[in-house]
Amino acid sequence: MEIVVMPKLGFNMDEGKLISWYKGEGDAISKGEPLFSIETDKTNIDVEAAQDGVVRRLLIDEGETVPVTLPIAIIAGADEDISAAEQEALAQLGGGTAVNGTVPEQSTPEAAAVHEPPRKAPVATPAEKAAGAGDYDYDVIVIGGGPGGYVAAIKAAQLGLHVALAERDRLGGVCLNRGCIPTKAFLRSAESLREVRAAADFGVKGVNASKAALDMKKVQARKADVVSRLVGGVESLLKKNKVDVLRGDADIADAHTVTVSGDSHSTASIIIATGSEIKGLPPGVVRQDDVLTSDTLLELESLPKDIVIIGGGVIGVEFAYFLAVAGVKVSIVEFLDRILPPVDAEIAELVSSDLERLGIDIRTGAKVTSVEGNAVTFEQGGKTESIGAERVLMAVGRAPRLTVDTDRLGISTERGAIVTDEHMRTSVPGIYAIGDVNGKVMLAHTASAEGIVAAENIAGRDVSMRYDAIPSAVYISPEAASVGLSEDDARGRYGDAVRVGRFPIAANGKSMVAGETSGLVKVIVDSKYGEILGAHLYCMHATDMIAEIATAIRAEATAEEVAAAVHPHPTVSEAVMEAFHAALGAAIHC
């Protein structure tokens, strides 16, 4: 006899909705034949019988939602006595229903409620309230024109709202003007230099690789051109979507009034998207005034001979890579016991070795105590050491930028960040906060996603932000990109129910063709359900390919499904497929 239960098809699955029964009571069924289909919160899945027999009882109706592991059917021999199992199953279902509307006598309204599909509480948005009243200048004013703010403004306008966006500087925020885009333009120049140096290996003759060097004025000019074209693009998108851009310093007078350079504008809702600013060294650390930050380094028209970078996070590592390729002698001084703390430890170790091979001196477990006279002094393993260099770059993180008086407005904050719920609402009705200012995940693409969630909620939809499948990337070469849990976190959370699949990039044909054979693809899956828990790529195109796995996680695709999806040959993406094969048993090509 088989008591068929609502299957748990993932760690996050608590209940399933029965879409249809493929068999009726009394039908014979063979092992492997589909018995029913269910809907999880993202997808529909057919579930097969685990043994041969006759479908004796269907315990729930189509359309019902029940918690996972509760019984939903009984398969047994045609003459087998199932009465005890049936009683037990019905008891577990709380006296539940049966097909054809049969409700056993012991059923109670409370028990029936167990099977009710969960209903989301309706959200009465300020915009909805305002829609009837029509007494505000705008439905939404967004403060800040970075990748959070401008995306929120465009989305809100696309949803039919009357929108303004306040910005005191250039549109595009840190990402376009002083962050993601300019650093990637720098790194692209470094890649060109590397290619020129390696040209002879690929059969290119006549290149004097020893003379190849970066012309920082040209690097700067190219960067500025890319940035201004993208900023211009944001301006035209806002115009096309009829978003009013209010130039100047914005402040919030009350929950329905924003002032921009002294002019008051009333609004039903406000989205705070004021971003983040560069963190200083901890109090007590003496520092000289001309320590570089990511902002000022991006403006240099000539490079120093040597540099000490304080902080081995993403900014520190990306600049270290760029500068080392450009010929600068680089040292990284990192407080923790390894660089790239949020990255999977095994991948961070590989990155660290490759950076050292480039000539970068990496000091970990090193607490900086002073920065004076071009020397960085730090304590490491009980000793005090100093590294002198022409310049020092400080890359010890960013902090949310609070330009509004949160205390006066009653907006809750925690450790300097605005507290938001999954709808991006702050503690003040009608005020939302997205991007770095809420301190959740300080990445441009998270800000944009949060902006869309905030705009949709303001427009009356009921949308939540999910943080479990946000990719992150480090733009060095090879690139490093991750999504989901690191191996350590997955093991910490799920213990032995975790399988790790690895595929070395040295065994990937496309990488060999490109001469980029350093690296690893590593995937972490749950051994019971095949759920994808995390993926960590250190290879060419990693930052583009990670989107495949972010999408798979979001769509609740299993490791088997990604492994079975045909990946084109020859590509680096085959290494991803192979890592999933490895997690499920064995990779084909290693």
Contact flag: residue 315 with ligand NAI (CB under 6 A): yes
Q: What strand order describes the sheet that includes 15-21?
A: 44-48, 34-39, 15-21, 65-67
User: How far apart are CB 466 and ligand NAI at their closest, in Å?
Assistant: 19
Pick the binder of ligand NAI from 173, 275, 304, 313 (CB under 6 A). Answer: 313
Whole-angstrom distance, CA of residue 170 vs CA of residue 180: 15
The dihedral through the CA atoms of 503, 506, 509, 514 has a sign that is: positive
Pick the binder of ligand NAI from 67, 94, 104, 341 (CB under 6 A). Answer: 341
274 or 472: whose CB is closer to ligand NAI? 472
Contact flag: residue 416 with ligand NAI (CB under 6 A): no
136 or 322: whose CB is closer to ligand NAI? 322
181 or 243: whose CB is closer to ligand NAI? 181
Q: Which of 470, 471, 480, 582 is nearest to 523 (CA)?
A: 582
473 or 549: whose CB is closer to ligand NAI? 473
DSSP per position, 343-408: S-HHHHHHHHHHHHHTT-EEE-SEEEEEEETTEEEEEETTEEEEEE-SEEEE---EEE---S-HHH
Q: Where are the beta strands (DSSP E) in 91-242?
A: 138-143, 163-167
Contact flag: residue 447 with ligand NAI (CB under 6 A): no
Q: Is 567 a catalytic residue?
A: no
Whole-angstrom distance, CA of residue 179 vs CA of residue 293: 11
Query: For residues 490-519, which are near ligand NAI according to CB under 6 A?
Result: none
Pick the binder of ligand NAI from 311, 400, 478, 484 (CB under 6 A). Answer: 311
Catalytic residue (choose from 423, 536, 569, 581): 569
Q: Pick the stretch among 100-108, 142-150, 311-319, 567-575 that binds ligand NAI (CB under 6 A).
A: 311-319
Whole-angstrom distance, CA of residue 503 vs CA of residue 27: 46
User: How far apart are CB 331 and ligand NAI at their closest, in Å?
Assistant: 12
Q: What angle (nearest 5°) sits at the alpha carbon of residue 413, between those of residues 411 and 419?
A: 85
Q: What strand order describes the sheet that includes 361-363?
A: 361-363, 329-333, 306-310, 391-394
For residue 83, what are its two tokens? 């009465």
Whole-angstrom distance, CA of residue 469 vs CA of residue 441: 11
User: How far apart are CB 282 and ligand NAI at their closest, in Å?
Assistant: 6
Whole-angstrom distance, CA of residue 576 vs CA of residue 572: 8
Contact flag: residue 221 with ligand NAI (CB under 6 A): no
Which residue bears the tokens 């914005």? 250
Binding mask 455-494 for ligand NAI (x = CB under 6 A): -----------------xxxx-------------------
3-state SS class at 539: strand
260 or 297: whose CB is closer to ligand NAI? 297
Query: For residues 379-398, which are near ligand NAI according to CB under 6 A?
Result: 395-398
* CA–CA distances in Å: residue 101 to residues 61, 104, 585: 8, 10, 45
User: How far apart are CB 424 and ligand NAI at their closest, in Å?
Assistant: 18
The dihedral through the CA atoms of 117, 123, 124, 130 has a sign that is: negative
User: How far apart are CB 476 and ligand NAI at their closest, in Å?
Assistant: 9
User: How far apart are CB 125 and ligand NAI at their closest, in Å?
Assistant: 30
331 or 457: whose CB is closer to ligand NAI? 331
The dihedral through the CA atoms of 527, 529, 533, 539 has a sign that is: positive
Query: For residues 316-335, which are near ligand NAI according to CB under 6 A?
Result: 316, 318, 333-335
User: How far apart are CB 346 and ligand NAI at their closest, in Å?
Assistant: 17
According to DSSP, residue 506 is labeled: G
Contact flag: residue 360 with ligand NAI (CB under 6 A): no
Contact flag: residue 297 with ligand NAI (CB under 6 A): no
Contact flag: residue 252 with ligand NAI (CB under 6 A): no
Is the distance from CB of 567 to CB of 573 less than 8 angstroms?
Answer: yes
Q: Which of 17, 336, 328, 294 is nearest to 174 (CA)?
A: 294
10 or 313: whose CB is closer to ligand NAI? 313
Query: Closest CB to ligand NAI belongs to which residue?
Result: 313
Pick the binder of ligand NAI from 151, 411, 443, 524 (CB under 6 A). Answer: 443
User: How far apart are CB 361 and ligand NAI at their closest, in Å?
Assistant: 14
User: How far apart are CB 472 and ligand NAI at their closest, in Å?
Assistant: 6
Query: For residues 50-69, which are near ligand NAI according to CB under 6 A?
Result: none
**Torsion angle of the four alpha carbons 335, 338, 344, 345, in this order, in degrees rounded to the nearest 10:** -140
Catalytic residues: 569
Chain residues binding ligand NAI by CB under 6 A are: 281-282, 310-316, 318, 333-336, 341, 368, 395-398, 442-443, 472-475
